Amino acid sequence: MAHHATATLTDADTAVLGNRAGKAFMPLLGVGAVCLLVALIFALFFPDGIDRFGFAYLTAYAFCFAIVLGCLFFTIITTLFRAGWSGMVRRIAETFAACVPTMAVLFIPLAVFVATGSGSPYIWAKDAEHGGHHATLEQDGSGSPVGAVAVIAEQADGHGEAGGESGDDHDVDHASDHGAHHGPPSFIGNNNPDDWGTWYSGAVEYYMGVKYPWFEKWFWALRWVVYFAAFALIGVGYWKLSVKQDATADPSLTNTREKYAPASVIAFALLVTFMSTDLLMSIDPVFFSTMFAIIFFANAFTAGLATMILVITVLRKRGYLPNVTTEHFHDLGKLLFAFVFFWGYVSFSQFMLIWYASLPETTYWFEIRGVTTVAGTFFDGGTGGGGGSDPAAPTFNSGWSWVALFLLFFHLFLPFAILLSKHVKRHPFWRVVMAVWMLVVVYVDLYWYVMPMFSSPSIGLDMLPIDLLTLAGMVCLLLAAALKRAARHSLVAKNDPRMHESLALDTNVWAPVHAD
């Protein structure tokens, strides 16, 4: 009815959490820290538990950063479009977007992993003393220690000098796994399935040379400083402008926000592209895909929207935000639905291009993640379990295949079919179910990117508690940070000049700009 055009913000809408946030803040902080600590202690009981902890931490970190970046994107894209409908829910997104500094603090353990040179979770950070692939080459035909990168680079014209320099830094040990291999080390054309390990270590050397100096630690650290500085500038900046408007009711602050929105969106696109490459894709220096960053972005926005739906539902249960109506949830649900399909679209694009081109330096990425019709791989001598040197050895076509199929059905087909209905998007119970569902599959998707590098072809479920505890701990810490940000300010951007549009939101009818 037209009557809801007269809705106004109530005291419950503009309430400040204040001390009530404090009651949840300390428990969240405590549970988060304890979960991470228990995960670390649990990891000590396994020979490679610390390595696993690194991968688990990376997965959980990527998940939480995805939520923050999804909310950041929601903030700037609605500002860019001068959206009116989002006024009631925008502050929640801004609060999470302002948690970039927290994510910078939580990044420190990953930096420690890189600095110690254990090669986990980033294989390119492996040092020689850890028995890594940077060890000295003992014998290579000529008898002189020459890096594999240098040899390959000299074969490929024009790269001799640059390759030689990096080759000196990254001498290679091929002797251990490379006994039968004669001539210059090369991974290209090496199709012997028994020799996959050699293929991969050679490929790592080669691509680290090709991509020099991307995997230099100083350059890596420099990039992360830039990422965090820029994301914090946008995320905290928009949040600060918004809470300032709460106090001053100055509509020109909205003009300021909109003025910087286009540049922020462009910067966001570039930053997410490079950041996700550094965070997730670089655990595998060989693999390259121009679709990877946009898949991460799709996951991030999905996670951000699902988090917003859940957080607002919880706040409404406690009596806050009574003016967030079914219409707002419906719109958030529409975006969630759109990005379910967007994820499927870009993920399939990545798969199809790699499948069609069939280049070994990219197809193996899917192979070790279980997406292969080849029953036999180097693990079983290439004959499909039973005919190789080790008949009992597992193949890639095992546990991770189920995860990949799970993603196909539970990250694309089923949520697409379910979220297609507006009744689900508007239903108070089912929209919560779908939001939790989407958060779970986003985590599984990130897990599927990261963990096979550690455990494939096995799925390595024995150490699953490490992953789940790390995830729980990290999510608790993120929620604690968001709660602290939210505590001293209204839960709604109450002086937003377009608030009347959001209050009068009716998705059943096209809304004129000035509803009243």
Partner 1 sequence: MTTLAAPPQPATVGDDAFVEAPSRPFAILAEFDNVTDVISATQAAYDAGYRKMDVHTPFPIHGIDEALGVRPTILPWIVLLAGLTGMALGLVMTSYTMGMVDAPLPGVPVALEPYPYLISGKPYWSLAAYIPVIFELTIMFSAYTAVFAMFFLNKLPMLYNPLFQSDLMRRATDDRFVLSIEAADRNFDEQQTAAFLKDKGALNTDIVNY
Chain residues in the site for partner 1 (CB under 8 A):
1-5, 348, 351-352, 355-356, 358, 420, 504, 506, 508-512, 515
In angstroms, what is the minimal distance from the CB of 176 to partner 1? 35
Assess contact for 208 and 148: CB atoms under 8 A: no
CA nearest to 438, candidates 311, 339, 324: 339
Q: CA 311, CA 305: separation in Å to the nearest integer?
A: 10
CA nearest to 365, candidates 396, 398, 386: 396
Q: CA 57, CA 62: separation in Å to the nearest integer?
A: 8
In angstroms, what is the minimal distance from the CB of 366 to partner 1? 11
Which lies closer to partner 1 via its Cβ, residue 13 or residue 501?
501
DSSP 54-90: HHHHHHHHHHHHHHHHHHHHHHHHHHHTT-SGGGGTH
In angstroms, what is the minimal distance from the CB of 426 to partner 1? 13
Tokens read off for 165: 């320099």
In angstroms, what is the minimal distance from the CB of 442 to partner 1? 23
Provide the residue type at 71 as one letter: C
In angstroms, what is the minimal distance from the CB of 289 to partner 1? 16
Assess contact for 177 and 198: CB atoms under 8 A: yes
In angstroms, what is the minimal distance from the CB of 422 to partner 1? 9
Which lies closer to partner 1 via its Cβ, residue 128 or residue 515?
515
Which lies closer to partner 1 via its Cβ, residue 144 or residue 358?
358
Please list, in sequence order, all residues whose beta carbon lies within 8 angstroms of the beta carbon of residue 36, skipping any fewer than 6 positions away: 469, 470, 473, 474, 477
Tokens read off for 187: 């991974």
In angstroms, what is the minimal distance from the CB of 333 to partner 1? 15
Which lies closer to partner 1 via its Cβ, residue 265 or residue 404?
404
In angstroms, what is the minimal distance from the CB of 359 to partner 1? 11
Q: 121, exposed or middle or buried, with CB in 10 Å at 0-12, 13-18, 19+?
A: buried
Which lies closer to partner 1 via its Cβ, residue 6 or residue 136?
6
Which lies closer to partner 1 via its Cβ, residue 158 or residue 512?
512
| 3-state SS class at 156 | coil
Assess contact for 434 and 421: CB atoms under 8 A: no
Which lies closer to partner 1 via its Cβ, residue 2 or residue 229?
2
In angstroms, what is the minimal distance from the CB of 93 to partner 1? 26
CA distances from 38 to 45, 461, 465 (A): 11, 17, 10
Which lies closer to partner 1 via its Cβ, residue 245 or residue 347?
347
Provide the residue type at 428 as one letter: P
Which lies closer to partner 1 via its Cβ, residue 288 or residue 351?
351
3-state secondary structure 187-233: CCCCCCHHHHHHHHHHHHHHHHHHCCCCCCHHHHHHHHHHHHHHHHH
Tokens read off for 32: 């988060």
In angstroms, what is the minimal distance from the CB of 352 to partner 1? 5
Which lies closer to partner 1 via its Cβ, residue 249 or residue 420?
420
